[in-house]
Amino acid sequence: MSQTIQTVSEIIARHAHLEGPLLPMLHDIQAELGHIPETAVPELAAALNIGRAEVHGVISFYHDFRKSPAGKHVVKVCRAEACQAVGANALSDRALALLGGDWHGKTAGGVTIEPVYCLGLCACGPAVMVDGQLEGRVDTARFDEILKEVGA
């Protein structure tokens, strides 16, 4: 048994007693492994007696779940309407253009850019989260500083 499958099996066992344990299992798998590996899907489906498609559907529905490991730094850009109204789309376009990547991908510098649909800073938009730290009222100059700070 691979280390990944063993880790997934241990997490499944820890949460087996819960009602509706799929989300807690997925959160713990990502916390332990940094992402939800494809090999976890059949293990979860078998343990919970549900289809692989259902497990995949939950993983793909929630934007925080990753199918591959993130970079050393994660920059999340709010894509909710309040932030879009004050310039979030320009920040997103700038980040993707400067880094030469796409959402959820890793740059050569080890930065992952992710879309987020509300960071809870609606009155202080556009908002970003950098390695878990919230930043509000981010203009393009500040965003360039943020990207430089994380090595992008």
Q: Range of 115's domain?
A: 73-149
Say if residue 107 is in the same domain as residue 139.
yes
% of the chain residues with pLDDT over 70: 99
In a domain, 68, yes or no: no
The annotation status of 122 as a binding-site residue, yes or no, is yes
To the question of whether residue 83 is assigned a binding role by annotation, the answer is: yes
124 in a labelled binding site: no
Mark whether 82 and 36 lie in a shared domain: no
pLDDT single digits (tens) 16-49: 999 999 999 999 999 999 999 999 999 999 999 9
CA distance 58 to 32: 18
Q: What is the mean pLDDT of residues 62-81?
A: 91
Give the N- to C-terminal CA distance of the chain in Å, as an integer. Answer: 38
Per-residue confidence (pLDDT) for residue 104, from 0 to 100: 83
Asked whether residue 99 falls in the same domain as residue 140, the answer is: yes
Q: What is the dihedral of CA 22, 69, 95, 127, to 10 degrees?
A: 40
Mean of the per-residue pLDDT values for the chain?
92
Residue 11 tokens read as 């997490």
pTM (two decimals): 0.79
Report whether pLDDT(85) > 90: yes
Evaluate if residue 14 carries a pLDDT over 80.
Answer: yes
- Assign residue 121 the CATH number of its domain: 3.40.30.10
Overall domain count for the chain:
2
Which letter does DSSP use for residue 106 in this model? Answer: B
